[in-house]
Structures are given as structure tokens and as C-alpha cells.
């Protein structure tokens, strides 16, 4: 197993990932075949109509959810990686400014929050390049990481290498970073996690916010325990329109309190984690 030491001899690297998708979801106004699924209900409308009500649900994430999340991150002095669809940032300059002012990282979640896995190679390459250009224009710097919506293609990782990305998140295979050197220049793989993601409160409706919190704490505690002999990384995925609801945001606060109360914890952006790993395990 590759050697890995965290700053300050920390036992665990906690990666808070905040997904910013609002305003880039599927809509016939953007030329898509239909509207986005109605999230809280899981209802798909298979007609080419504009779903104004569901668009307002996404806007809630920006108008009410984001300020709550940003406030908590600021109160705890914790940095996060905002996996953002480029178009979402274009439409939310106030949030974009707050992300940058808070010292957070922006990772690309695509140009739009659409199904990248359906694209041919040329279309996907253009999609990646448009995301880079847009995010750089919105934030002042290009993204170094990538997270697709759901699935990736046979070409995705090679295209990311060709476009100069440092790390890739479309992987769920470990609790530590690792290299993929199969496409010429090596790229760091920073595995993501779905089991502790707040979206589980949609996909598993019987899971209460309290259940989700306990699962997240249990995940952290076990990785923290293992990290006593060899560091681990915990990915903790959030969404503005999910955890930002008034009945859920307090459970995020409780999780951050739990993390803050433990010694030897490194809360870092994914770029910081990738660079830390790469420096210690050069290829």
C-alpha cells in the first residue's frame, strides 16, 4: 500500500463536497427533450413541457439552501469542494463569489447537469472544454477536478487527462486516493461516496435526517479509527436543495460539530488532498 501522511499527522482527511446543479438541470427551455425529474417525489414527466414548479424547487437551493450551508462552513472554519455545473455558476454570481471568498474549491460537475454518458467522443470533449472555459470565466481559475452526472464513458478519463485535469472523482472503489496511469499522464483518482450522500434521503425515503446523520457519524468514526494506523479519506456529499432545507440543515450542523470535536482531523478541499497524495507518491 502506498505511503500517505496527512498534515499535522492527522488520521483522516474529510472532504466536504457540495454539489451545485441548480439552474443547469434538464429543461426544454435549454433544448432538452423533457424536464428534470421532480426530485422529492421521484416523478418523471415524459412530455415536452416546461416544469416551472420543479424549476422553483431547484431555485430554493440557491435562494435558501446555499446561504445556510455557507454560513455553517464559515462558522466552523471548514473548506469544501463545490462540484459545480458550469452553467449553474454562470447563473448564480452571488454564490460563486461567496465560494471564492470563503477559500473553497470549485470542481467541474460538467458544463450542465446532464447525462454525459450518452455523448460521443467529440461531443464529450467539447462538453469538457466548455466547462473549463465557463468555470474559469466565473471564478478566475480553471477547475482541476471532475465529477460526471451518474456515469462516465469509455473516453471520459482519457479526455480529462488530455485537458490537463489533476484528479477525477468518478470512482467508488476505495477510501484512499490512488493513481490511474493508463492514459499517458497519470491522474489522481479521488474516490467519491454515495452511501453517506444526502441524496440518500430522496432515493431511500424511509431514511430520516437522523438516520442519515448517524450513518455519516458512523462512517467518520470507523475511518477515523482505521486512520490511527494508516490515513483514510471520507467523502461527504451534499446538495443545496436537499441538506439546505430547514428540517435537514441542523443535522449537517451536528455532523460538523462531531468532526470539529475530534483531534487529528484534516478538513481539506479535494485539490489539496490530490496534491498531498501526489507529492508523496510521485510516478
Write the CATH number for 71: 3.20.20.370
Whether 2 maps to a domain, the answer reads no
* Contact of 236 with 216, CB cutoff 8 Å: yes
Whether 237 maps to a domain, the answer reads yes
Q: CA 251 to CA 253: how far, in whole Å?
A: 5
Query: Helices 249-260 and 66-76 meet at what angle, rounded to 10?
Result: 20
* Contact of 54 with 32, CB cutoff 8 Å: no
- Which domain does 59 fall in, by range? 7-280
Position of cell 462516465?
152
Q: CA 80 to CA 99: how far, in whole Å?
A: 9
Instruction: Please give the torsion angle defined by the CA atoms of residues 169, 171, 174 and 179, in that order, rounded to the nearest 10 degrees.
Output: -70
Whether 50 maps to a domain, the answer reads yes
- Residue 282 has a pLDDT of 92
- Residue 266 has a pLDDT of 98
* Contact of 187 with 179, CB cutoff 8 Å: yes
Per the structure, the count of domains in the chain is: 1
Return the H-helix or E-strand segment holding 231: none
Strands 232-239 and 12-20: parallel
Whether 158 maps to a domain, the answer reads yes
pLDDT tens for the chain, 283 residues long, are 788 999 999 999 999 999 999 988 888 888 878 787 766 766 777 788 888 888 888 999 999 999 999 999 999 999 999 999 999 999 999 999 999 999 999 999 999 988 888 899 999 999 999 999 999 999 999 999 999 988 888 999 999 999 999 999 999 999 999 999 999 899 999 999 999 999 999 888 778 999 999 999 999 999 999 999 999 999 999 999 999 999 999 999 999 999 999 999 999 999 999 999 999 999 8
Q: CA 192 to CA 172: how far, in whole Å?
A: 5
- Residue 21 has a pLDDT of 93
The structure's pTM equals 0.94
Strands 187-189 and 178-180: antiparallel
Whether 163 maps to a domain, the answer reads yes
Amino acid at each position: 500500500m502506498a505511503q500517505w501522511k496527512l498534515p499535522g499527522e492527522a488520521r483522516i482527511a474529510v472532504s466536504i463536497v457540495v454539489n451545485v446543479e441548480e439552474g443547469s438541470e434538464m429543461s426544454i427551455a435549454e433544448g432538452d427533450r423533457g424536464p428534470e425529474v421532480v426530485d422529492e417525489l421521484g416523478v418523471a414527466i415524459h412530455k415536452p413541457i416546461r416544469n416551472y414548479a420543479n424549476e422553483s424547487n431547484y431555485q430554493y437551493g440557491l435562494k435558501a439552501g446555499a446561504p445556510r450551508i455557507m454560513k455553517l462552513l464559515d462558522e466552523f472554519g471548514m473548506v469544501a469542494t463545490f462540484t459545480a455545473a458550469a452553467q449553474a455558476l454562470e447563473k448564480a454570481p452571488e454564490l460563486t463569489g461567496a465560494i471564492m471568498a470563503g477559500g473553497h474549491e470549485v470542481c467541474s460537475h460538467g458544463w450542465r447537469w446532464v447525462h454525459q454518458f450518452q455523448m460521443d467522443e467529440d461531443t464529450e470533449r467539447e462538453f469538457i472544454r466548455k466547462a473549463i472555459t465557463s468555470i474559469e470565466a466565473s471564478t478566475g481559475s480553471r477547475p482541476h477536478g471532475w465529477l460526471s452526472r451518474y456515469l462516465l464513458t469509455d473516453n471520459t478519463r482519457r479526455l480529462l487527462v488530455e485537458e490537463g485535469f489533476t484528479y477525477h472523482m468518478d470512482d467508488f472503489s476505495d477510501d484512499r486516493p490512488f493513481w490511474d496511469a493508463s492514459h499517458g499522464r497519470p491522474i489522481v483518482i479521488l474516490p467519491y461516496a454515495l452511501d453517506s450522500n444526502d441524496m440518500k434521503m430522496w432515493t431511500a425515503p424511509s431514511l430520516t435526517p437522523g438516520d442519515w446523520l448517524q450513518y455519516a457519524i458512523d462512517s467518520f468514526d470507523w475511518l477515523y479509527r482505521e486512520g490511527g494506523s494508516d490515513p483514510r479519506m471520507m467523502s461527504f456529499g451534499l446538495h443545496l436543495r436537499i441538506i439546505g432545507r430547514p428540517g435537514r440543515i441542523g443535522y449537517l450542523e451536528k455532523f460538523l460539530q462531531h468532526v470539529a470535536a475530534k483531534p487529528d482531523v484534516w478538513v481539506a478541499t479535494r485539490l489539496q488532498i490530490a496534491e498531498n497524495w501526489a507529492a508523496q507518491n510521485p510516478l
